[in-house]
Amino acid sequence: MYKDKKVVFSGIQPSGSLTIGNYLGALKNFSAFSEEYRCYYCVVDEHAITVRQNPAELRRRTYDTLALYVACGLDPEKNVLFVQSHVSGHAELGWILDCYTMFGELSRMTQFKDKSKKNADNINAGLFTYPALMAADILLYQTELVPVGDDQKQHLEIARDIATRFNGIYGDTFIVPDAFINKTPAARIMSLAEPTKKMSKSDENENATVRILDDRDTVIRKFKRAVTDSESEICAREGKDGIINLMSIYGAFTGKSFEEIEREFDGKGYGEFKLAVGETCADALAPVQAEFKRLSSDKAYLESLMAKGAAEAHHDSLRTLSKVRRKIGFTERPR
């Protein structure tokens, strides 16, 4: 707890150029918490290396992700914006929590299973213990609420289990966090190429994703190519995964319900609907892109934000870390 404010924590991996899935499922919702909560928003580069990254690209994307945080409305004066590897407490608590996380529970994680399939030549230990590091990210700041997309539900559950287990052994140490997943279909945006699969920034098929930084023509082109079905009716009926996904995206950008969208496009074809979704999405992304362009050209400013965020996060992390060290029996660190 910081000055009587409850804590919010969330992070995004700089493992690719961010998609509208990351935006609608997570990033867009972050700023709503800034007044009421002490908010930590982290660029989780340590998580990103669980999959092999090109070093120069990882570095650039780390700057870009931080710039996008600000461009999406996160005020650095009201939120702690920082890079995970700049605060050593994440890796330190991550290791400790590895020792309180069970092989069996990690084996059940669907993200591990999915990513192992995708990266069969690099099923490393970090990929397996990813959820323990994620639990450390969250528990380090005594977080109450974690705004994430629907795909992170299972990781949040394990973070809760780890916190509860640790508290059970040593007495109250961590706040047991709750996931904050928005109740709309935007909590899980699907791939435009395979609408039964979630949209992911690391997808190699460029037609599967719409990226926050895609230019207008690209956004519209990708929606035009989106996989749908052989019918012609725009409605949220079972089996129409592609159309439901487009309706979810359109609804998230316009605030319209499925019923309203069905009425609006009654009797109209898929071509017209896809164009409307593309234009609406491009219009919504334009101001974010303009602000991103301004910020990303000022590396010195981004580095000043990194320094400020790291100092604040490091300072705030020490309380939990020293409590944990004491409880598990580590000797006091020489000063």
Residues of the shown chain interacting with ligand AQP in the complex, contacts defined by CB under 6 A: 11-13, 15-16, 19, 21-22, 25-26, 148-149, 151-152, 187-189, 198-202
Q: Could you tell me which residues come within 8 angstroms of residue 26 by beta carbon, excluding any fewer than 6 positions away?
A: 10, 12, 147, 148, 149
Which of 52/268 has CB closer to ligand AQP? 52
Question: Which is nearer to ligand AQP, 83 or 148 (by Cβ)?
Answer: 148
Residue count of the chain: 335
Q: How far is the CB of 102 from ligand AQP (least distance, A)?
A: 22
8-state DSSP, 25: I
Between 149 and 251, name the residue whose CB sits nearer to ligand AQP: 149
Q: How far is the CB of 16 from ligand AQP (least distance, A)?
A: 6
Closest distance of CB 14 from ligand AQP, Å: 8
* For ligand AQP, the closer CB: 99 or 125: 125
Residue nearest to ligand AQP (CB): 25
Residue 3 annotated as catalytic: no
Q: To the nearest whole angstrom, how small is the minimum distance from the Cβ of residue 173 to ligand AQP?
A: 25
Catalytic residue (choose from 6, 28, 115, 299): 115
Marked catalytic residue, from 78, 113, 201, 274: 201
Separation of alpha carbons 81 and 195, rounded Å: 33
The alpha-carbon radius of gyration of the chain (Å, integer) is: 21
CB of residue 155 vs ligand AQP: minimum separation in angstroms? 9
Minimum gap (Å) between residue 300 Cβ and ligand AQP: 26
Angle between helices 55-71 and 270-296 (to 10 degrees): 100
Task: Note the helical H segments in the chain.
Answer: 20-22, 28-30, 45-48, 55-71, 89-98, 103-107, 110-118, 125-139, 153-170, 216-224, 241-254, 258-264, 270-296, 299-328
Sorted by sequence, the CB contacts under 8 Å of residue 299 that are 6+ apart come out as: 63
Is 201 noted as a catalytic residue in this protein?
yes
Spot the catalytic one: 28, 198, 222, 240. 198
Which residue, 17 or 317, is less far from ligand AQP as judged by CB? 17
| Coil, helix or strand at residue 291 | helix
Burial 8-46 (b: 16+ CB within 10 A, else e): bbbbbbbbbbbbbbbbbbbbbbbbebbeebbbbbbbbbb
Largest CA distance in the chain: 74
Q: Which of residues 17 and 173 has its CB atom nearest to ligand AQP in the complex? A: 17
Q: Is residue 113 among the annotated active site residues?
A: no
Report, as residue numbers or ranges, the catalytic residues.
115, 198, 201
